[in-house]
Chain A
């Protein structure tokens, strides 16, 4: 599986930079619990979750499970917000997510996040993913704030043959979203991805603007947007949880896309996010090209994180 290899390759490249590394865990037969805790923190899980995972793995280990399996279990439990699927997985039933289409509820997906995380690129990738699977897709260049952000999405739309609705730089993002939502309905297309300007979750006015964009979409197309996806950069530290919380509060996030997992960042902040907000992870971004997007699979993520051979757990 290409993305898995890339992910693992990425994770393997800077081995020597840190003394204790979460990547050593998969190989280690056993290690000090303290070291494990710090390794997890080094992967950006945060101190609290790291302690929880250690406690859970410890319990499992005391039941006689191997160190590695105990750890994998503890991690997976944190990463599976869906209790039902968690149970299924525990009895050995593994969904092969990569073979299933990642379903979108409704027709309109609003894409939100802080500046520079990869929203626009992710929309391009999503366009490629769903077009390849027979869906007719449209883009809305709703970032009218950043210079040439509209042009950026238009370039992608052109490359992928996806119609892109846009307005002039500096114009009202709500107007662009409205026109696009309208146009999608009129043309009977399957999916609309609405790009938005990056904004820090602490900026009250900008968060209000985001709410407005969402309301305006509903005006053009009642019941939409059914999905609001938050894009999160894997390199994000503990601030990621605050980001997710604030965006969730403002516009009701229904899914998360984690980008830049082709680097050395491990995206450990996902753990507290999944845990506290119970948000499903939809996709991961593993590069800058349109095809560098993969459906998220918790088990594969954990295996890649621990650098275990993929077959070991399949």
Chain B
């Protein structure tokens, strides 16, 4: 697995730490590392070059190198520039009171159809009346896919027929809208290569006919260096107004979409976070910057936790009282937010604390449950009581080993410590750090 940019930078700066100042040469060497790390996050080469050039100018041109903690200052400049690169603020597509037409474009397999369904679902639950248009007449059963999705979420689907002209599609849509009130039309188009002249012309014609107020390019988060020419070509030939990044729930760092955003100057509206119909979230540039830097995606995590907080009557009263029972409750909740491996990625520093390649054993929760269940109430509330003989009893009772129990206790201590770092307020539902893996 790749080292995160944050880990990499930390490595470079660790070797410099403790010296009162950094030299220009040292900063340049560090920035070479930054460039390599950006490339490993699939940031486009040209974009990465520009980026390091700008950071270098800022770092060397200022009094940064003479400041008290020059290493931290340089990291801060890198972070700020990265946020800048990602677009700074979150942006949402333009949604008028009525007569919205949004069109989705992209390469084959980017995730357009699924995204169309997710958008329809999202805005329907906000009180809109969406209509889906299945314009992918190319891939076998693509229209059927959208028809099924539409049925699942209760949104009508207008299917473009084989060989239908854009004018005809426009006329059919007009007819439909005269008979049925719909305020948001979402058009799913066939995937196409940006170099396929005929198909690019065809989609440009469709756009011309339908006159969408948003034209969004759907980009797979796992895309590599090609994101730049792809985005440029779609923008130049068809014209796009925003981007959607899909499959960000994997471990791809998403540098490609970042580059696409950078070169087109168009905002990233949404990120696809799961295969489920509700798995589309507003895109927060700063959070992805943190993800690339390896600083964790704390904000997303806290927000997720908040959603689950409604049923949280049994959370710890205060940090001091955080007991093993609480730990179990929290872990079960976290489990509902996704796999531990996914969640840990959002915890700041967690990726650094774990040896590279560590995998979280998802079966661990079962063992933890067994161990905690084998404790008495008193032991759960006062873990200090757990001496060697009690631990032996618990191990036997839960069908685990004393080492397992010891490891759990270590995790617990660390979790407690970690939660303290989050300050007074939001201790609820935050996961533990190191040691859940084996």
Q: How far is the CA of A147 from the CA of B142 in the complex (A)?
A: 9
Inter-subunit contact A269/B111 (CB<8 Å): no
A148 in the interface (beta carbon within 8 A): yes
Chain A contact residues: helix, strand, loop or mixed: loop
Selected contact of A265 from candidates B1, B42, B224, CB within 8 Å: B224
B332-351 CB contacts (< 8 Å) to partner A: 339, 341-342
Chain B contact residues: helix, strand, loop or mixed: loop
Inter-subunit contact B144/A233 (CB<8 Å): no
A97 in the interface (beta carbon within 8 A): no
Q: How many inter-chain contacts with C-beta < 8 Å in the A-B complex?
A: 164
Closest to B113 in A: A147
Inter-subunit contact A17/B232 (CB<8 Å): yes
Chain B residues, Cβ within 8 Å of A149: 141, 145
Inter-subunit contact A263/B251 (CB<8 Å): no
Inter-subunit contact A202/B141 (CB<8 Å): no
Chain A residues, Cβ within 8 Å of B342: 202
B247 in the interface (beta carbon within 8 A): yes
Q: How far is the CA of A201 from the CA of B138 in the complex (A)?
A: 28
A22-72 CB contacts (< 8 Å) to partner B: 38, 41-44, 46-47
Q: How far is the CA of A203 from the CA of B251 in the complex (A)?
A: 10
Inter-subunit contact A41/B225 (CB<8 Å): yes
Inter-subunit contact A42/B222 (CB<8 Å): no
Partner-B contacts on A (CB < 8 A): 10, 13-14, 17-20, 38, 41-44, 46-47, 114-118, 121, 145-149, 151-152, 154-156, 169, 200-205, 233, 235-240, 242-243, 260, 262-265, 268-269, 288
B211-229 CB contacts (< 8 Å) to partner A: 220-226, 228-229
Q: Which of B58-66, B102-110, B282-290 contacts A (4 or more CB under 8 A)?
A: B102-110
A14-B233, A42-B45, A288-B139 in contact; A115/B247 too (CB < 8 A)? yes
Q: How far is the CA of A44 from the CA of B253 in the complex (A)?
A: 14
Inter-subunit contact B225/A44 (CB<8 Å): yes
Inter-subunit contact A237/B247 (CB<8 Å): no
Q: How far is the CA of A146 from the CA of B1 in the complex (A)?
A: 28
Inter-subunit contact B225/A10 (CB<8 Å): no
Chain B residues, Cβ within 8 Å of A151: 140-141, 144-145
B281 in the interface (beta carbon within 8 A): no
Selected contact of B145 from candidates A114, A147, A154, A288, CB within 8 Å: A147
Selected contact of B45 from candidates A10, A38, A233, A243, CB within 8 Å: A38
Chain B residues, Cβ within 8 Å of A200: 247, 249-250
